[in-house]
Structure 1
Amino acid sequence: MLQNPDIAKLLLRLSLGILILFHGIHKMIHGLGGVKAMIASTPFPTFFAYGVFVGELIAPIFIILGLYARIAAGVLAFNMFIAIYLAYGFSLSLSKHGGLSWELALVYFIMSILVILLGSGKYAVNSK
C-alpha cells in the first residue's frame, strides 16, 4: 500500500490554495460590493472588506507555495469563519441540492484547519 503523507499534504495545500484563489481573483476583478454590503449591516467599518484580499489572494499563494502555510491557513480559516457568519449567520438552511447553504465555505474552513494541524510537508518552500 502506498502511503506518502507529504504527497497528501501537498495535494491538500494545492487544492485549498488554488480553489480559494479563484474566489480572490473574482473579487479583485469584479470588486467587493457584496462583501462591503454585508459588512455594512454590522457595526464594523466597511474598509474591513479589504481583508478579503489578504484571506483570498495572499494567504492562498502562501499556502500553495508552502511558505508559512500554517499561518496563512489560519488567516484563511478566520476569513472563512467571518464569511460564514456574514453571509449565512450559521443558519441551518439548506441549498437547493440538500446540503447546508454554507457547506463550501465550511469545507474551505475545515481544509484550512487541516493545513494548520498537518503543516506543509516536505514539498514546501520552507520545509524542514
Structure 2
Amino acid sequence: MFQNPDIAKLLLRLSLGVLILFHGIHKLIYGISGVKSMVVSAGLPEFLAYGVYVGELITPIFIILGLYARVAAAILSVNMLVAIYLAYGFSLTLSKFGGLAWETPLLYLIMSLLVVLLGSGKYAVNSK
C-alpha cells in the first residue's frame, strides 16, 4: 500500500491555502465592508476588520509555500474562530442543505489545526 505522509501534508497545505486565498482575493477586490459591519456590530473596533487581510491573504501564501506554516495556520485558526463567531455566533442553525450553516469555515478551522499539528512536511520551503 502506498503511504507518503509528506505528500498528504502537501495536499492539505495546498488545499487549505488555495481555497482560503480565493476568499482573500475576493476581499481585496471587493473590499471588507461586510466584515467591518460585523466587527462593529459585535462591539469591537472597526480596525480589527483589517485582520481579515492577514488571515485570508498573507497566511495562505505562507501555508502554500510551507514557510512557517504552523504559525500561519495557527493565525488562520484564530481568523476562522472569529469568522464563525461574527457571522454565525456558533449557533447550531442548519443550512438549507442540512449541514451546519457554518460548516465551511469549520472545515477551514479543522484543516488549519491539522497543519498546526502535523507541520509542513518535507515539501516545504523551510522543511527540516
Please state which band the TM-score falls in when normalised by the shorter chain. Answer: over 0.9
Q: Report whether the alignment pairs 1:124 with 2:119.
A: no
Q: Which runs of 5+ in 2 are unaligned?
A: none
Aligned to 2:85: 85
Q: Matched residues, percent identical?
A: 75
Correspondences of 1:103-122 after superposition (within 5 Å): 103-122=103-122
What is the Cα-based RMSD across aligned positions, in Å?
0.4
Per the TM alignment, residue 45 of structure 1 is displaced from its structure 2 partner at its CA by 0.5
1:41 corresponds to which letter in structure 2? S
Per the TM alignment, residue 44 of structure 1 is displaced from its structure 2 partner at its CA by 1.2
In the aligned structure 2, how far is the partner of 1:47 from the partner of 1:32? 11
Correspondences of 1:1-128 after superposition (within 5 Å): 1-128=1-128
Q: Which runs of 5+ in 1 are unaligned?
A: none
TM-score by length of 1: 0.99
Question: Does the residue aligned with 2:94 lie in a helix, a strand or coil?
Answer: coil
Q: CA offsets per residue over residues 15-74 of structure 1, 9 Å max, x none?
A: 000000000000000000100010111221111000000000000000000000000000
What count of residue pairs does the alignment treat as equivalent? 128
TM-score by length of 2: 0.99
Question: Does the residue aligned with 1:35 lie in a helix, a strand or coil?
Answer: helix
In the aligned structure 2, how far is the partner of 1:42 from the partner of 1:88? 12
In the aligned structure 1, how far is the partner of 2:30 from the partner of 2:16? 22
2:58 corresponds to which letter in structure 1? I
Runs (4 or more) in structure 1 with deviation over 6 Å come to: none
